[in-house]
Structure 1
């Protein structure tokens, strides 16, 4: 665990009566620079920059001098790119539209994946997507791409078809139009944002809770309670592996939903 998480664990075990008090959400984002100002730069901002830098470096190095017979590193990079291209872009959008929107889908997937995985990396231990700014920005990118794709495909009919499904009696549109507007243009970006944000926050809270409880049972209570400490430690490691899966799934779900929205926008009826 990182020094930061270790300090949270120590803080969690402190109290007047020696009781267990888990850390609050406000303990996870200590400022690093410009504390007390509107320009406060927190530890999680450093992690976001680090994850972005590592991602850019990996892809620049992996694609700079590509060979017909790839090296192992080039093969890994190509496998990652092919996963998004084949299983998301081409599978949902077809080859033509898939290639058009492949850059943005690839960027979404790997940016979310790398920032999610910082939550389980020793020394970092918090996901770059666990503050609302990043999920909200990515959801807005997805939202704007969806609208752009629809307007580009059918400049005059996109919004009409999105809000007024054909074949319904005219009086039903009084009810359908507000519902479709709410569902298509409001709920979609909100759910994209909250799904990613909540999963990463809850995952981090659970990990800190398990390891805080381990510290408390083993070193504060000790004795018989150490058995519970071993249990919470085991749960912590198991949940760490689970968070690895969740980090990948959240990147996949966010990207595939974006592709689904684009597919709906470019469908022939629009």
Structure 2
């Protein structure tokens, strides 16, 4: 795209790898091996979160430091406000580390979308929500099969007390819910909110800059655009937190649903 043009962006703008290693043939299709900016952001977030968790808990004390208190507050929020409430006080404890890890990873990478100089939410790239959803998918199905048995897991999907003639249709609908709808909506909800929110901020920030460069009255108009960009950034921080919370809340709900005795 020529400098100064105002034509709509093409798909190449969404694929800008930092390092390319070449291509490989995978199932008859060419796949490019590369390191992308979102990959670096996720790797950086994992390193920073690991350092933070180790640094704040290495010398844990009865009277916590500020760092320990902050980490414990987040942990207790996931433990008591998500895992215990959604899974139940009898079975929730083994799943707390999994849900806590998912929450802090998603939240930190969401907030990367508003933290300078990164300002790119990694979860706004569909591959990352899909990868996290696959983890949840495997966990709750494995738990369900382990508790009910393979055949019993499918029987468990059918509510008790239904007449026999309607059970096949209900089983089909439940299988679509368990195997298709749940993972699809879990991944798309996180991706869609992060992608749309990021684009909205870009519109106000870059739009304000374009107006500012025009001079005259348009320079004055750029000020409300930047004020709106700031307001939307604050609002986006809340949305990013809520999306991390909703993701782990639904994950805990699916796990809890797989552990109940009856559907």
**Following the alignment from structure 2 to structure 1, what is the Cα–Cα distance between the partners of residues 194 and 12?**
15
**1:146, distance to aligned residue in structure 2 (A):** 1.0
**Following the alignment from structure 1 to structure 2, what is the Cα–Cα distance between the partners of residues 241 and 12?**
33
Q: Which runs of 5+ in 2 are unaligned?
A: 24-31
1:234 and 2:220 matched: no
State the superposition RMSD in angstroms.
Answer: 1.9
**Following the alignment from structure 1 to structure 2, what is the Cα–Cα distance between the partners of residues 238 and 13?**
30
**Following the alignment from structure 1 to structure 2, what is the Cα–Cα distance between the partners of residues 23 and 116?**
24
Matches within 5 A, 1:134-173: 134-155=128-149, 156-162=151-157, 164-173=158-167
1:266 and 2:259 matched: yes
**1:167, distance to aligned residue in structure 2 (A):** 1.3
Q: Cα deviations across residues 170-213 of structure 1 (Å, max 9, x unaligned)?
A: 11123212111111211100101100011111111111111111
Matches within 5 A, 1:15-94: 15=5, 20-21=6-7, 23=9, 26-34=12-20, 37=23, 38-94=32-88
1:114 and 2:108 matched: yes
Q: Which runs of 5+ in 1 are unaligned?
A: 1-10
Contact 1:130 1:197 in 2 (8 A): yes
TM-score normalized with structure 2 length: 0.90
TM-score normalized with structure 1 length: 0.88
**Following the alignment from structure 1 to structure 2, what is the Cα–Cα distance between the partners of residues 106 and 113?**
11
**Following the alignment from structure 2 to structure 1, what is the Cα–Cα distance between the partners of residues 84 and 195?**
32
Map of 2:238 onto structure 1? 245
Q: If each structure's helix is expressed as a fraction of its own residues, which one has the higher value?
A: 1
**1:216, distance to aligned residue in structure 2 (A):** 1.0
1:129 and 2:119 matched: no
Which stretch shows the higher mean deviation, 253-262 or 42-51?
42-51
**Following the alignment from structure 1 to structure 2, what is the Cα–Cα distance between the partners of residues 208 and 98?**
40
**1:94, distance to aligned residue in structure 2 (A):** 2.4
**Following the alignment from structure 2 to structure 1, what is the Cα–Cα distance between the partners of residues 124 and 10?**
14
**Following the alignment from structure 2 to structure 1, what is the Cα–Cα distance between the partners of residues 179 and 137?**
8
Q: Cα deviations across residues 60-95 of structure 1 (Å, max 9, x unaligned)?
A: 111111011111111111111111001001122223
